[in-house]
A and B are shown apart, each in its own frame.
Chain A
Amino acid sequence: MSGVRVLVGTRKGAFILTSDAKRERWQVSSPHFAGWEMYHLKGSPVDPNRIYASQSSSWFGQIVQRSDDGGKSWHQPGTPPGEPTTAPDGSPKGESNKFVYDTSPETGKPLTTHQWYDGTPHPWEFKRVWHLEPSLTDPDTVYAGVEDAALFRSTDGGQTWQELSGLRGHGTGSSWAPGAGGMCLHTILLDPSNPSRMFIAISSAGAFRSDDAGKTWRPINRGLHSLYIPNPTAEVGHCVHRIAMNGLRPNVLFMQKHWDVMRSDDGGESWHEISGNLPTDFGFAIDVHAHEPNTIYVVPIKSDSEHFPLDGKLRVYRSRSGGNEWEALTKGLPQSDCYVNVLRDAMAVDSLDKCGVYFGTTGGQVYASADAGDNWTPIVRDLPAVVSVEVQTLP
């Protein structure tokens, strides 16, 4: 019987929530990597037992973990303890937590500077992995979006990482600036119909697209209007919070920007606003129904200075028309005294016949709907602050 596995990253560890396809009874794992910040976990679409996890700490830096058995056990995919650290040819074996910007003359770009908060140039410094995106076709290939913003790829199951430096070095990088949460590359979307096309988004630089499998990149921010930057329609500088795509229609993208919910019908060439009747169009998370490409979900947050729901009511908003007309989904969600946030990577959908929708909060709740958002129940209520939620639909 099919089922779902929900991968939850929190400020103090990772949790795996499992259920059969009814999604009524849940098993909650004890914490994996207890005490560590787990920014993101995601499973391979071609091998559900293969899961990658980003584990980090202000003290000890970045770790990459991998499971080959659906999250039962984990290992760092570099060199196991006790094994030689060099290969027979003398070259060093993998270091799975080594993310070094590529400045080599052959494949890299000079490591220049980006803008710091005070407008001064600031050198690029690796801090952490925000998002891991496994390949749609190869379980050993996985992409990592990192802070300070850059895109890395591993083709050996996470043992070693190489920067796709054409993004950082394409020309506008020196004008990128961090948002309050850091200059993070948080969204990676792979086009299932075109292996050469991928999209990424950076706070606060904007959205970018590659049409040659990550070698070269260009900004795709036409139509975005951001009042918090000197030129509201600048080529880069927009604080994109999240982009979502339904693989059935990969040319259509939905974006939750700092303010504004946006849509593109041409692979990011242009964007138009679809905030419509939302009570506030600030927010972080956005996702698309697995089977209905025009059904989208957002969680409106009051404002950029008050990161909690309006009026203390936690409401998911759903549009079945691809935007502009939105309905509040409230059944099962707290409608008073709720002041949590839902972060950008903390919403996901499953692909069961009746699409399940999931999101986690900074208050430690993970809510699930087994009927596309009509009704919600908390799977757990008291986890550490939830940073990310991903779902695997199991055969």
Chain B
Amino acid sequence: MIRVTLPPHLRKLAQIDGEVNLDVEGQVTQRSVLDVLEVRYPMLRGTIRDHVTLRRRAFVRFFACGEDLSHEPPDALLPDAVATGREPFMIMGALAGG
């Protein structure tokens, strides 16, 4: 089971509180986690990554295990601690003022 945390605006869109728990079959990567997340919560499509290119939106960040994984390839394996559910995969809004 994969644990995913979302920023407040996206939790509100998805009408959820707290973490999301996902069952991801096969390899646990950014892409496979986001694919399952968007099937479960289709209203999040386009908000984390572009509809067409599937690239991460510029001001969205992916953190896990104290590291910024935003620039990792989408098919790179996520850390074991994420794959086993010990640590969450954190989807964050980048810091910005205003």
Contact = CB atoms under 8 A, between A and B. Distances in A.
Do A and B truly interact? yes
Interface of A: 35-36, 57-63, 76, 78-79, 81, 85, 93, 95-98, 100
Contact of A95 (B7, B13, B40, B45): B45
B47 A63 contact: yes
A93 B13 CA distance: 18
A98 B45 contact: yes
A79 B94 contact: no
B46 A98 contact: yes
B9 A62 contact: no
A58 B43 contact: no
B9 A57 contact: yes
A342 to B, nearest CB: 21
Given A60-B9, A78-B43, A95-B42, 14 more contacts: A58-B59, A59-B94, A60-B10, A60-B93, A63-B47, A81-B16, A81-B42, A81-B43, A85-B42, A95-B45, A95-B46, A97-B43, A98-B46, A100-B52
Nearest to B44: A60
Contact of B9 (A59, A76, A81, A95): A59
Contacts of A97: 43, 45-47, 51
Contact of B13 (A63, A79, A85, A98): A63
B66 to A, nearest CB: 22
Contacts of B9: 35-36, 57, 59-60
Interface residues of B, number: 24
Nearest to A95: B45
Contacts of B47: 60-61, 63, 97
A126 to B, nearest CB: 9
Interface centre among B7, B16, B47 (most CB of A within 10 A): B47
A100 B45 CA distance: 13
B63 interface: no
Interface of B: 7, 9-10, 13-16, 39-43, 45-48, 51-52, 57, 59-60, 93-94, 96
A62 B44 CA distance: 11
Nearest to A96: B43
A98 B19 CA distance: 26
Contacts of B93: 59-60
A59 B56 CA distance: 10
Nearest to B46: A97
Chain B contact surface mostly: loop
Chain A contact surface mostly: loop
Contact of B51 (A60, A79, A95): A95
Contacts of B60: 59-60
Contacts of A79: 42-43
A85 B46 contact: no
A246 B59 CA distance: 42
A58 B51 contact: no
A39 to B, nearest CB: 16
5 contacts: A60-B60, A76-B43, A81-B40, A95-B45, A100-B52
A76 B94 CA distance: 24
B4 to A, nearest CB: 15
Nearest to B49: A61
A95 B47 CA distance: 11
Contact of A61 (B41, B57, B96): B57
Interface centre among A35, A63, A79, A81 (most CB of B within 10 A): A81
B10 to A, nearest CB: 6
Contacts of B39: 85
A58 B93 CA distance: 10
A60 B41 CA distance: 15
A35 B12 CA distance: 11
Contacts of B7: 59
B46 A61 contact: yes
Nearest to A76: B43
Contacts of B42: 78-79, 81, 85, 93, 95
Contacts of B13: 60, 63, 76
